Structure 1
Amino acid sequence: MQTKNTLKNQDLIDQFHRDGYIFLEKALTESQLLAVNNQLLSWVDESKLHSESFGKIKDGRPRFDVDTKSHSADTPALRRITSPAEISDSCLDVVKDNSALDLVADIFGPNIKHWTNKLNLKLPSSGTEVKFHQDFPFEPHSNEDIMTVLFFLDDVTLENGPLEVVPGSHNGPLYSLWHDGVFTGAVGSEIELANKGEAVSCTGRAGSACLMHSKLLHGSSSNRTKFPRSLYIVSYTAEDAIPLTENPLPSDLDGMIVRGIKTDTVRCSSYSVELPEYPKEVSFFGQQDKTKSSMM
């Protein structure tokens, strides 16, 4: 039997199954948005004291990833904070409760668990871009019910590097992220060229969110404005989706039940995908930095 909330969201659910993504306004409360942004500002200020990536996550890699090619105290280029919910109550609050998560439970539920969380930043003039890829080859599971939720911490415009998605591509093939024996974290240039013309930009007000299927082809360009564009990205999975590789962003919060209950069951779907390389770099930005050299 469908709940009233499920019936209310049916148009969004139908759109998700058709397009592989949906846009949701007011996914965060005003207090959640303010708290996470205040925390983020303090971390950007902290990064000004460092000349390279710093901090430590569970596997020993740095938690705070800076682009050393452009980072300085005057122009900080902090581009990734891994698993901030481990060290911030405001980030943990968002992981555990938000309007987008309610929608994830309507789509994949009722039992949902947390997989990863990270803050991606595009600070003014930092030049950070994301090459086209699918998330699923980074995080293969026993089934494909995996959702990436991108919370807008700033207003996202066409000029500040919005997420670009290819509608319906989640129903297509899983593309290789390996090129000439190198795991680049990006699809081949011919795949990007064939699909980029169909890409749609996801823009909206701070506090909104884009919910994206893990198989959806996507990327983003650099921030061309004088203002920051930051996203808090949280990945959720169906509770019966079991990871087939190590979590690339290991955390004590991996597998935390955020909706429903733990059933201790496994559900499997049929697909074929190349296993990813466990990252040696601070973040996948480092993996994507290898794309140009591997394709020359």
Structure 2
Amino acid sequence: MTNDTALKQHYDTHGYVVVPSLFDASEVQLLRNTTDQIIESARGKSESDSIHDLEDSHNPKDAPRVRRIKDPVQQFDTYGKLARNEKLLSILRTLLGTHVRFHSSKINIKSAAYGAAVEWHQDWAFYPHTNDAVLAVGVALDDLTEDNGPLMVVPGSHRGPVYDHHTDGAFCGAIAACEVVDQIQNAVPLLGPAGSVTIHHVRTLHGSAVNQSTQPRPLLLISYAAADAWPLMGISDFQSFTNQLISGSECTAPRLEAIPVRMPLPAAEFQGSIYENQRAQQDRAF
């Protein structure tokens, strides 16, 4: 789906789009090589750090088992350049408008045979803004197949309720499975060859199962927002915030929309990543 009008219409209606093979083989190989090097650098580590979020089954004496690379766009030039690639920016302008701000990034590795699941959630629960012109881009570093734990979304859920992501009085980053048991029956997997891009709205209900296949499913996830969408949790440094603008000009008059919000507070009992946050949720779908 490359026609701008069709892409925007599908996104607005369903809360997601897939753009097949946006990046070519050489671009993907560079991303893979960098990712492999970062994973290898976790060898011998006994606990997660500012770069590596380790699988529960990781053993420092064995080959590294990394479930997430943290903040890749901010920490490594290869991903930083990709986040500002003009092919990607053109799509972002179609969906968000001329003025676009980078928000955050991560790579969910989903290694073959054991890559961890992510429970059903909405990104909106983690970083609510003054309006919901916010989305997440997924760049496939390997093929996204039915079997390797692809991202699954519930079409149209971005126009539905904002679900509670709390348990026992604290944020946990996951919706109780009983709350969405009917909705997830309609979930669709986002599939495509390496180099494809998935995009989902900040309020779209999504999750992914354990990778039980023999093929890894690393997915570089980059979140963006319209420049007039300001984070409700505040900003710590205005200059750094402005430096994250990747298209258009700064906006100091946030656009306010009447959208339900549940703040991610009190903070999750387990910190470090969504995988840690979700440990507290006992009613799980995966």
Shared fold (TM-score greater than 0.5)?
Answer: yes
Determine the C-alpha separation between the residues in 1 that align with 2:80 and 2:180. 35
1:130–1:220 Cα contact (<8 Å) kept: yes
Q: May I ask how many residue pairs the two structures share in their alignment?
A: 280
Q: Do residues 230 (structure 1) and 218 (structure 2) align?
A: yes
Which 4+ stretches in 1 moved above 6 angstroms?
Answer: none
Q: Do residues 42 (structure 1) and 37 (structure 2) align?
A: yes
Alignment-mate amino acid for residue 264 of structure 1: T
Q: Do residues 79 (structure 1) and 58 (structure 2) align?
A: no
2:46–2:60 Cα contact (<8 Å) kept: yes
Q: Do residues 284 (structure 1) and 274 (structure 2) align?
A: yes
Pick from 191, 195, 202 the counterpart of residue 207 of structure 1. Answer: 195
- The alpha carbon displacement at 1:33 in A equals 1.5
Determine the C-alpha separation between the residues in 2 that align with 1:167 and 1:211. 12
Runs (5+) with no aligned partner, structure 1:
1-5, 55-61
Determine the C-alpha separation between the residues in 1 that align with 2:72 and 2:241. 11
Question: 5 Å matches for 1:36-75?
Answer: 36-54=31-49, 62-75=50-63
Determine the C-alpha separation between the residues in 1 that align with 2:150 and 2:39. 20
Q: Specify the alignment match of 1:58 in structure 2.
A: none
2:114–2:212 Cα contact (<8 Å) kept: no
- The alpha carbon displacement at 1:48 in A equals 1.8
User: Helix, strand or coil: the match of 1:10?
Assistant: helix
Q: CA RMSD in A?
A: 2.4
Runs (5+) with no aligned partner, structure 2:
none
Q: Specify the alignment match of 2:25 in structure 1.
A: 30
Determine the C-alpha separation between the residues in 2 that align with 1:44 and 1:269. 41
Q: Do residues 178 (structure 1) and 149 (structure 2) align?
A: no
Determine the C-alpha separation between the residues in 2 that align with 1:177 and 1:102. 33
Alignment-mate amino acid for residue 103 of structure 1: I
Question: 5 Å matches for 1:159-198?
Answer: 159-198=147-186
Q: Do residues 137 (structure 1) and 118 (structure 2) align?
A: no
Give the TM-score normalised by the residue count of structure 1.
Answer: 0.88
Which one is further off, 222-231 or 157-166? 222-231
Determine the C-alpha separation between the residues in 2 that align with 1:117 and 1:206. 19
Q: Specify the alignment match of 2:246 in structure 1.
A: 258
- The alpha carbon displacement at 1:127 in A equals 4.1
Structure 1 residues 131, 67: closer, same or farther in 2, change over 3 A? same
Give the TM-score normalised by the residue count of structure 2.
Answer: 0.91
Determine the C-alpha separation between the residues in 1 that align with 2:33 and 2:47. 23
- The alpha carbon displacement at 1:266 in A equals 1.1
Determine the C-alpha separation between the residues in 2 that align with 1:27 and 1:73. 38
- The alpha carbon displacement at 1:46 in A equals 1.1
- The alpha carbon displacement at 1:154 in A equals 0.6
2:21–2:192 Cα contact (<8 Å) kept: no
